[in-house]
Amino acid sequence: MQLAFILYKYFPYGGLQRDFMRIALECQQRGHQIRVYTLIWEGEIPDGFDVRIGPIKAFSNHQRNEKFHRWLHADIQQDPVARVIGFNKMAGLDFYYAADGCYEDKAQTLRNPLYRYSSRYKYFASYERAVFAPDSKTQILMISEVQQPLFIKHYQTPIERFHLLPPGIARDRRAPSNADDIRAEFRAEFNLCDDQYLLLQVGSGFKTKGLDRTLKALASLPSEQRERTSLMVIGQDDPKPFIIQAAALGVSKQVRIFKGRSDIPRFLLGADLLMHPAYNENTGTVLLEALVSGLPVVVTDVCGYAHYIEEADCGQVLHSPFQQKQLDGALSQILANRQLRAAWSANALNYAKTADLYSMPQRAADIILAELP
């Protein structure tokens, strides 16, 4: 079959983008043709992919997206496909991969009531309604159990249209047999001694991921701990506000911020603790990438995948409402307790051997390629 995949932007390091790529490649390996509609494509194009980039210009994101939507549907009418799979919310999808949380719930609970009169709200709300309304035909590939009740609450979406997927962690994130050697080489490369602590934070969207909270926690450490602790941050975002914050907190020398990169497994093996005190997070793929590499985690309970950290007993989940003092205290106690970190690491590696954390692309392809209702 000819399959059309739609996403606004592709770059190699985003969680949604990597999920799209793995699902599309799985479908291609099963003998199907892959067409991609996007506004921006960064990185290599896999052999056999037909990537069509929308020639769209607009003053605002929602105007751009509306024009893109009209353009791609006109193109599909001229050059039909058997399935349309969207990774962003919009009308006309056969399948929607629900990487984003419920927009309507955020608009009602986190925004001023006047926000719902804005053109931005009307656009995003209408595109979400096109997917989740009771009379929509779109099948929904869910990756977060936390969000499903919210969609049902706001849209009365029939339960049978939801398909809950297992996580889909790439197996190259698992700790290899020479993990200790990789860790030693990594720490030598970055001049990290055995008695130094390395905190790691990974993810695009530094504000949403709670980087400001991590910087405050780093600055709160007792002086002896703080001097021995470094923080590395990796993601596609503007680092300037956080560079300024680090300077104001007096921790600039301990903080390094990198753009997205392809060697995340090395960082996971070289670090001592993954920090993920997010404000909101539909899933949090990096949490499971840390788990399968044996890296302990500190995470807020608003993250869809936080329950895996509790089930594996491989880190600390901070319960809502968030309190900065709780994060500050947890960080100091964890760094001071080498035995606890070692136990969490062993628990994570044992859990990774038996839990289904890897089969999302195969299960998603099974659903996409089955007969539509």
Q: Write the pLDDT tens digit of every residue in 35-56.
A: 999 999 999 999 999 999 999 9
d(CA 50, CA 303): 34
319 lies in which domain range?
A: 171-354
349 pLDDT exceeds 80? yes
| Confidence bin at 13 (pLDDT 50/70/90) | confident
The per-residue pLDDT for range 235-271, each reduced to its tens digit, is 989 999 999 999 999 999 999 999 989 899 999 999 9
Is the same domain home to 22 and 88?
yes
**231, 335 Cβ separation under 8 angstroms:** no
Is the same domain home to 39 and 178?
no
185 pLDDT exceeds 90? yes
pLDDT score, position 372:
66
pLDDT score, position 61:
85
pLDDT score, position 373:
62
Is the same domain home to 45 and 194?
no
pLDDT score, position 346:
98
d(CA 272, CA 358): 24
The two three-digit tokens of residue 90, written as one number: 């919009």
Mean pLDDT of 289-306: 96
pLDDT score, position 89:
97
Is the same domain home to 14 and 113?
yes
Contacts with 57 (C-beta within 8 Å, 6 or more apart), sequence order:
64
The per-residue pLDDT for range 191-234, each reduced to its tens digit, is 999 999 999 999 989 999 999 999 999 999 999 999 999 999 99
CA distances from 63 to 67, 90, 96, 102, 276 (A): 6, 13, 21, 21, 33
Mean pLDDT of 284-308: 96
Is the same domain home to 80 and 197?
no
301 pLDDT exceeds 70? yes
288 pLDDT exceeds 90? yes
Q: How far apart are the first and last CA of the chain?
A: 17
Mean pLDDT of 81-86: 98
H or E segment and range at residue 232: strand 229-234
Structurally, how many domains does the chain consist of? 2
Is the same domain home to 44 and 128?
yes
H or E segment and range at residue 95: strand 95-98
Is the same domain home to 33 and 118?
yes
Is the same domain home to 95 and 77?
yes
**26, 170 Cβ separation under 8 angstroms:** no
Mean pLDDT of 168-192: 93
H or E segment and range at residue 180: helix 179-189
The two three-digit tokens of residue 269, written as one number: 């093996």
CATH number of the domain bearing residue 196: 3.40.50.2000
Is the same domain home to 141 and 270?
no
136 secondary structure, DSSP code: -
Is the same domain home to 297 and 213?
yes
Is the same domain home to 59 and 125?
yes
pLDDT score, position 110:
85
Share the mean pLDDT of the chain. Answer: 95
- Taking each continuous run of H as one helix and of E as one strand, the counts in the chain are 15, 15
Is the same domain home to 66 and 178?
no
pLDDT score, position 282:
86
